[in-house]
Amino acid sequence: MAKEIERKFLVEPGFAATLATREGGTAVSQGYLPVSGTSTVRARIYGDRGFLTLKGATRGISRSEFEYEIPVADAQEIIDTLCGGQVIEKTRHIVTVGQHKWEIDIFSGRNRGLVVAEIELESEAEEFERPDWVTAEVTGDPRYYNANLVDTPYCDW
C-alpha cells in the first residue's frame, strides 16, 4: 500500500514574502470530488501535468495515498465539472534543507495569506533538520488540510 507520512508547519511571514517574489514556483490547482467518510479524492493540475489522487483517513501523521498521472485536459475537466467549485489555488515552492525537500504552498483566492510548509518522511520517527523559517507545527490540525480549506477557507477563520 502506498503511504504518505507528512508533517506541516506554518511559515515565518518574512520568508514567505521573499518566496512570493521569487520566480520558480509552480502553479497548483486542485479540485475535490464529493465523497463520504474520511477519504478524499482530488484532481490536480501541477504546472503542466495532471493527477488523480485518492487519500485515506489520517492516522497520526500517516495515511494511505494513491496518485496517478492523467492527461492535464482530463484533470481540468474533472475540476471544472465534477468538483462543484471545491477548488484550491496555490503556488508551490520547493526548498531543500539538509536531506529533505520542503514543499511550501502560498495559497491564493479565499485562502490568501496562508503559507504552509510540508515535509514528507520515510517513517513517523524519521529525524529532519527544522529550518528557522518554519514556526508552529499544524500537522494534526484539520483546519490546514487542503480538503477542509475548500469548505472553510482561511479568510473565514
The angle subtended at Cα 144 by Cα 142 and Cα 145, nearest 5°, is: 70
32 noted as active-site residue: yes
The catalytic position among 32, 46, 144, 145 is 32
Strands (DSSP E) contained in 37-156 are 40-46, 49-55, 62-70, 87-97, 100-107, 115-120, 134-137
Alpha helices in 1-153 (DSSP H): 13-21, 72-82, 146-149
According to DSSP, the β-strands at 100-107 and 115-120 are: antiparallel
Residue written as grid cell 518554519:
134
In Å, what is the CA distance from 138 to each residue of 6, 81, 105?
A: 11, 32, 14
Kindly list the catalytic residues.
Answer: 32
